Amino acid sequence: MAKPVLINNNGLRVNPDLQKERDTGTFNIIELTNIIDGGPERTKRRHELEQLLFSDPVFTNPNRAFLSKSQLYDYGVQKSVKLFHLKRKYQWNEEDYFMAESLLRKEISLSLHHTMFIPAIERLATDEQKAKWLPLAQSFKILGTYAQTELGHGTNLLGLETTATFDQSTDEFVLRTPKITSMKWWPGGLGKSSTHAIVLAQLIIDNKSHGMHPFMVQLRSLDDHTPLPGIKVGDIGPKIAINTVDNGFLILNQVRIPRDQMLMKNAKVSRSGKFTSVGNSKANYATMMLVRVNMTNWAANILCGSVTAAMRYSCVRRQSALKPGGEEEQVINYQSQQYKLFPAVATAYALMFASQQLHDYYNQIYPQLARGSYTNLAELHSQSSALKAITGDVSVHHSEICRRACGGHGYLWYAGIGEAVSSGASIITAEGENTVLYQQTARYLMKQVALNVSGQTLDGFTSYLNNDDNYVNPIQSSEHCHDLQILNDIYQNMANRIIKKTAHRLHADMSSGLEQHIAWNKNMIQLVRSAQVHSHMSIVKAFITSVQSLVLSPVLKQVLHRLCVFYCLYGIINNSGDFIETSSINLNQLELMREEEIKLLSQIRPDAVSLVDAFDIHDETLCSVLGVYDGNVYEKLYESTQREPMNKTDVHPSYYKYIRGLLHSTPQSKL
């Protein structure tokens, strides 16, 4: 039975081409939406928050494209404060609050107060310190940020130059940024908003360094918000995107704080100046790891939005004709367009499932860390680094393909995809530049190979490194290409062989007499590659295990199985060199996989719109005239021109200043 034709608030019917796509979908969209949200109750709760937020004019500003940087910041602060009031009024839990932030595309100025400042107190402070600082932060009596990155040092935390020197005579720490490269640079909310910051600094006692530790530092007066003595703080200037956030710089000049404002859960300094390490020093990175985990979800959401806009537009847009003299064709019917967008859809689902599994792992491990058990800390650090890096990389890659798939209209700001690409690009360098993060994962992988060689059986995310080198690919038919276990084994064999080959090269170079750091740099490209194939394999495994374990209706099970197979085949074909090099596939199998990949395009086609509709992204959250749910793209494009300030008058002032003189000037000489 055909679904009813929807009418939007402007009385416009849903675009008939888009309506047709929804009528021909094969599965229950709500079932998939509930799975994405984590259950029907969470879907219901999200809809309640959407109704609350988007009925408030504070959260809907159609003129946002025309605001200056200062105005964007002002608007972001207004939204942040209103969101804080709503949290307090309705007694939202943290899950509700983060859901609200996501609905607002994280375009609020004070987000780090919740995403880093409060979590850092929870993870790095003693019980006594939490009793003091958490109530102030949770009631918004103070606003905070997390100041780690410096102008001259980002991912290399051991190289941070900010110092906190203990002065035993006054029982204080003296904080300094001794050089221009030492100033804190990039923390969100630092420039103009925060009253406090958790500052990461090198602890100095009696001229001896005890490594990096966190310190609670008040930046501004709680009476008039002016910077305190010894503190110079400000905004770092316009960015490519996310200009609602006041990323800032901080210079500390002999700033004194009481000794008890060093957050001392993992290390303590006594009144006499005695330093005591309580736990693993890497536990100080727990907040950063949490942010990396959360960024995988952000990357997935960006891609979900980009492909939603591009898919809907591709069904509305008609261009040329396949048959000479025939009707112009929906762009989505061109196979080349499908090969741009269907991999993006499949990747979006893969990233969502991988992100959810990483969140589950973090939630499993964090209580152990809180109890002082650090057995799984290295693996959590490795896996959060790996997935933060790869999800950012592939989200931006496929989002940019989605933008290009929208043709010229995709270049418009109101298309929304270009801004998504720019925002997503921040993930690639924020909280650890991706190449460096891949190297951190590679270090863990090399250690795991060494353990395996020594006879230890590995478990967890690297258990596949236990496999021997005798793998034989069993694919002989098209049916084999759809077997998820076979596909999983192919990826594991590929990653296993590349990682072990890299480990053997590194070991050989070191055995030949090369110093470790020289051998590492000599093999850096292969080390990064090893981390990348491990990351890719991890996402494949997450997608496969999710499809296999989820309780689904038979129809939806088939749809997600098909999408998962397509994701796996697309990855093999587009990285075929890795798989052939490692004897994970042969040329005949590659050709068979190419044939099946192309066949899957036509099989996915009937559900293309349903798969993006299942993301259930509100138009206000999507923020794309090309991706509006009703499909009235051309009407929305024209409406957007009416908000352009240049169109408020028929004649622009530049005419009187320049053009009129040019048009009416008398030539002084003939050309």
What is the CB neighbour count within 10 angstroms for residue 37? 19
Residue pointed to by tokens 């923020």: 623
Between 335-370 and 587-604, two packed helices, what is the crossing angle to 10 degrees?
Answer: 100
Residue with tokens 């499909």: 631
Is residue 606 a contact partner of residue 25, using CB atoms and an 8 Å limit? yes
Residue 49 in this model has a pLDDT that exceeds 80: yes
Alpha carbon 605 to chain centroid, angstroms: 28
Asked whether the predicted pLDDT for residue 143 surpasses 50, the reply is yes
Q: Which residues are annotated as a binding site?
A: 149, 188
Q: Judge whether 138 and 118 are in contact, CB under 8 Å.
A: yes
Q: Is the pLDDT of residue 151 over 50?
A: yes
Per residue in 87-121, pLDDT (tens digit) is: 999 999 989 999 999 999 888 999 999 999 999 99
Mean pLDDT of 160-185: 97
CB 310 within 8 Å of CB 139:
no
Considering 153-167, 312-326, 446-460, the range whose residues carry the highest mean pLDDT is 446-460
Which one-letter amino acid corresponds to residue 168? Q
Contact by Cβ (8 Å): 369, 317: no
Q: What is the DSSP string of 153-197?
A: -SS-GGG---EEEEETTTTEEEEE--SGGGSEE--TTTTTT-SEE
Which letter does DSSP use for residue 450 in this model?
H
User: How high is the pLDDT of residue 668?
Assistant: 64
Rounded average pLDDT over 202-218: 96
Q: b/e string for 280-291 if b means 16 or more Cβ within 10 A? A: bebbbbbbbbbb
pLDDT per residue as tens digits for the range 52-63? 999 999 999 888
Q: Where are the domains of the chain?
A: 142-278, 287-455+482-611
DSSP reduced 3-state for 25: coil
Choose, from 101, 161, 419, 431, the residue flagged as catalytic: 431
Helix (H, G, I), strand (E, B) or coil at 200: strand
Average of per-residue pLDDT across 418-429: 94
Going by pLDDT thresholds of 50, 70 and 90, the confidence category of residue 7 is: low
What integer pLDDT is reported at residue 10 of this predicted model? 53
Among the listed residues 447, 268, 435, 293, the one whose alpha carbon sits nearest the alpha carbon of residue 360: 293
Closest by Cα among 261, 262, 267, 260 to 283: 267
Phi, psi of 209, deg, nearest 5: -85, 135
Tell me what pLDDT residue 74 has: 96
Regarding the domain with residue range 287-455+482-611, which homologous superfamily does it belong to in the CATH classification?
A: Butyryl-CoA Dehydrogenase, subunit A, domain 3 (1.20.140.10)
Q: What is the pLDDT of residue 381?
A: 94
Q: How far apart are CA 306 and CA 309, in angstroms?
A: 5
Q: What does the pLDDT read at residue 4? A: 43
Which residues belong to the annotated binding site for FAD?
Answer: 149, 188
pLDDT band at 297 (very low <50, low <70, confident <90, very high): very high
Reported as a single tens digit per residue, the pLDDT across 495-554 is 999 999 999 999 999 999 999 999 999 999 999 999 999 999 999 999 999 999 999 999
The pLDDT assigned to 322 comes to 81
Per the prediction, the chain carries an average pLDDT of 94
pLDDT band for position 186 (50/70/90)?
very high
- The torsion angles phi and psi of 251, rounded to 5 degrees, stand at -110, 130
Question: Tell me, what's the pLDDT at 671?
Answer: 42
Quick one: what percent of the chain has pLDDT higher than 70? 97
Range in 194-203, 441-450, 658-667 the model is least confident about: 658-667
Task: Give φ, ψ of 211 to 5 degrees.
Answer: 85, -175
Q: Is the pLDDT of residue 256 over 80?
A: yes
User: What does the pLDDT look like over 261-295, one tens digit per residue?
Assistant: 999 999 999 999 999 998 776 777 777 888 999 99
431 labelled catalytic:
yes
Is 2.40.128.30 the CATH number for 142-278?
no
- CA–CA separation, 611 vs 341, rounded Å? 12
Q: Evaluate if pTM is beyond 0.75.
A: yes
Per DSSP bridges, beta strands 196-205 and 248-252 are unpaired
Count the neighbouring beta carbons within 10 Å of the beta carbon of residue 2.
9
Q: Please report how many Cα atoms fall inside a 13 Å half-sphere around the Cα of residue 222, on the Cβ side.
A: 9
